[in-house]
Structure 1
């Protein structure tokens, strides 16, 4: 499907202004990432100091290019940007990526940023940035980023749109359990705004969940329309909205020039369109993992199996604090559990299945997990079982997940109360196979609550997908930005 953002996000050819051989420079990484991402179009490095870079012919200036590229990536310092921006306007280049902040010493009004923004308005150039880290269009093999990056293949089903560059890269490059089709650091949004990127990803066929790291909605009407579109398509959005406190809102202005907006209005807007709000990146990641693997849950609540009485109590406390409903077991499930577990253990949910151990413990685990998830009030099961030494996952835990899922047909996850410095590749492998392995009880509970809330949102008072924004939202639309 064609999109007006194609010259920016799906360019047929790309020029890199300031392409470089200098190790770890933005100009080097911009070229490396295009190649690493598998970009199939023409690449034109521009730097008068080189004849070629990484085996690709280098050009002295924009005017010497053999064709007009769709996209220009700026990998130069701020004091050089304005003159080069004039060159791409003259060359009729349609789009640009600007990583830098557009701040120079001893600047005068109008500032460099204001001058560039005026040029953008007059020319109609599509710009990602400034003050951002670019984007990764994984599905179209187009990576426009001037920084070190991990691999992002194969194409996934999660999209991430972030006003924060580190908010994007800290997840994209450090969380292998999530697989992305698209991610962008929108920066100052001098041209293209969050709602336009959101519309773009909602039209991608594989998008199953979208994460937002949002400071403000610079185009409130467009943002509302995009949220409505996500609701109509039943694509869950998980939002990390910053700027809740007065001091944080002030820092938002200094960081990106944006005004954080009225937080209560955002809450009302998110509630209207089923957007699940989280408090931090841990909750954002956990929620996206579960949405990407399970989608919309069936009716029911949470059942949990433990091998620790203390950790069971912790889960109950945290579930209460986070308003996560726990399944009240059916009498038949209670009777079945009483036949399996040691008599001194109460047959309740959450269930502590460990007491005496012994040769029957394996059967107690497997049968208890099955009985819990088979309960008519269970929608999802969490196995709260900690990792082995060095962060490894016990193979028996993976087997327990798979057998329980096979017998019940319902979602099941493995959760460790804490994950330290160790690592086990099975965490990623099993998550991608539909058996998510998460860390931390609190973010996991929030993620599960978000799945419940999103499911219940569509049945709440028989909500109509065509409903309009209520008057109180329209009255406050200006304070979204």
Structure 2
């Protein structure tokens, strides 16, 4: 972000004076709400409306040019037909920022042009405004909690509804900054994240995004957050539309919007969540000051059935329970009633006697285990009618004696005793309000910080040929020998030069196998002649003759271009089973060999690569090098192609080789 842009954003979000355009005395009107919220804040407030001389005890000016004070920020609560005129007036008086509440339908390009040329920051259009809780600035068109709970979260959301929901959530977190950014015509999420990271008291960043804008700058900002140790939690909704290449190419059809977001988050160290419940639970857990040691999850239960439910959910979510040390198991085992086993997850309930001591000592044993990253008491936290049931006391006892993270996970939010929950939260104990969402949040904290490997993105362009195989070969990817022919005589001559057995393929068809355009294992001239005559009659004379490769494991490696994120590397189960298997992983380039190896480890077919049921393992390093090379091709040439795919790449114990490839150039 340029210094001028950074300064404009800071002046907008930290406004010392603001003008409310369209101020109104009418109760419950938009203009009235703007005034109420502005006057709740710390900025000097000027009211502008030609229809009033005074609103309440405050003078009202007929226009912005009649104001006798410098104005940092204007709130434009005007209809779209008056928007451009008022925005130009804001520029004329030197305002540094504006909030556009309306949709600006049909005016967006002009709004952007006016604001950009003047260097003005703009929140919106189609937004609810913002609150800078650290500075006391309230620039809203709708009434929100006053005071807003204070804390370390900077929230930026494209959704106005979610903005209000999170501000009113009554959870164990609070805000430094909360921005309803709307359409982001001028100032975007990357700007707000940079502003938040300039604030040393920002403890975490929460993003709710529909469409990514200015991805390179956003990526840079998120990497900066990772470097500063500030967790970023991202809930994505919808996402960018698929490009044509993502439909046309095999691998493109497999790379959906969520996959693109997941790859982007993985590349920047951000925590990617699935819904608002997981968003809120994760934010509450990360808002606690205690961080994970990076280990597994440990949970203590008062119900065998709910313990089994949590184990099932963890399996679905891919969350690992910690393997407890022998000393830990012995300590816990000595505390349990007969018939209960020391395990993780742990069912403690026996006679129910002395819950404070029993649950507290079991929790403490888990908290102290070096393999445990985060510990939770997983009980429903209902209102208790038995005097000896003291779950909250047990957790508070342990939390007071450790710096390791500990939380409470409840299953049914409506059954939570709010007094008990608030007591826990007052002492910094997160109360997670759903079994699935809470367990997912525990998994996020246990794995944080996520590994972020910055691979230098240097342009290593090479001279490339016209065909997909030539493109791959230019980047050091082994490809089978392949020669073109368009007559029987040429086909026979090429095969003799290459050496039998050979593969015969038609030319100009994307999915050759589906139309009978590939014949494998042609062992001699007679077999080749028969196959060519049949293929030429149906599909045309133009073919390629290629070296036959036997055995190995088939993998698809390529990249597709997403309209918002740019090129994305896709690795999948290869060959004709690519769509059927639906086994793929998407990553944001560039990738090193370790990054490529992580992609391969994420495939369900990874055991095949490692050697399945006595089969030899493939040359996994050579396969990872192919992925890294395709990644570099994506970085260098991603603007030239909608898709490049090598499918299949055949991996064997002795190396890898691409036996077919597809290349789709971008249309002007």
Name the TM-score class by shorter chain: 0.7 to 0.9
- Contact 1:302–1:380 at 8 Å: present in 2 too? yes
Give 2:8's match in structure 1, choosing from 4, 7, 20: 4
1:70 aligns with 2:65: no
- Contact 1:286–1:447 at 8 Å: present in 2 too? yes
1:343 aligns with 2:345: no
Give 1:171's match in structure 2, choosing from 152, 166, 180: 166
Superposed counterparts of 1:24-423, under 5 Å: 24-37=28-41, 39=42, 41-103=43-105, 111-153=106-148, 155-243=150-238, 262-294=257-289, 296-358=291-353, 360-389=354-383, 396-420=390-414
- Contact 2:363–2:398 at 8 Å: present in 1 too? yes
The residue that corresponds to 1:255 in the other structure is none
Distance change in 2, residues 1:394/1:198 (3 Å): farther
Q: CA deviation at 1:61?
A: 1.4
Distance change in 2, residues 1:466/1:394 (3 Å): farther
Distance change in 2, residues 1:283/1:473 (3 Å): farther
CA deviation string 1:200-228 (max 9, x = no partner): 00111111110111122221221121112
> 3-state DSSP class of the match of 1:139?
coil
State which structure, 1 or 2, has the greater radius of gyration over its C-alpha atoms. Answer: 2
- Contact 2:282–2:442 at 8 Å: present in 1 too? yes
- Contact 1:231–1:465 at 8 Å: present in 2 too? no
Q: CA deviation at 1:375?
A: 2.4
Q: Distance in 1 between matches of 2:121 and 2:196?
A: 17
> 3-state DSSP class of the match of 2:12?
helix
- Contact 2:159–2:182 at 8 Å: present in 1 too? yes
TM-score (norm: length of structure 1) = 0.86
Superposition RMSD in Å: 2.9
Gaps of 5+ in 1: 104-110, 248-260
Q: Distance in 2 between matches of 1:378 and 1:143?
A: 42
CA deviation string 1:370-410 (max 9, x = no partner): 2232223222211111122499x998222111112234442
Q: CA deviation at 1:64?
A: 1.3
More strand by share: 2
Q: CA deviation at 1:26?
A: 1.9
Distance change in 2, residues 1:382/1:84 (3 Å): same
Distance change in 2, residues 1:145/1:390 (3 Å): farther
- Contact 2:296–2:321 at 8 Å: present in 1 too? yes
TM-score (norm: length of structure 2) = 0.63
- Contact 1:302–1:326 at 8 Å: present in 2 too? yes
The residue that corresponds to 1:252 in the other structure is none
Q: CA deviation at 1:33?
A: 1.4
Between Structure 1 and Structure 2, how many residues are aligned?
A: 452
- Contact 2:212–2:240 at 8 Å: present in 1 too? no
CA deviation string 1:429-466 (max 9, x = no partner): 532532111211111111111112223526xxxx4698
Q: CA deviation at 1:365?
A: 2.2
Q: CA deviation at 1:63?
A: 1.9
- Contact 2:123–2:184 at 8 Å: present in 1 too? yes
> 3-state DSSP class of the match of 2:46?
strand
CA deviation string 1:228-270 (max 9, x = no partner): 21122121111111215979xxxxxxxxxxxxx9543432221
Q: Distance in 1 between matches of 2:171 and 2:182?
A: 24
Distance change in 2, residues 1:130/1:475 (3 Å): farther
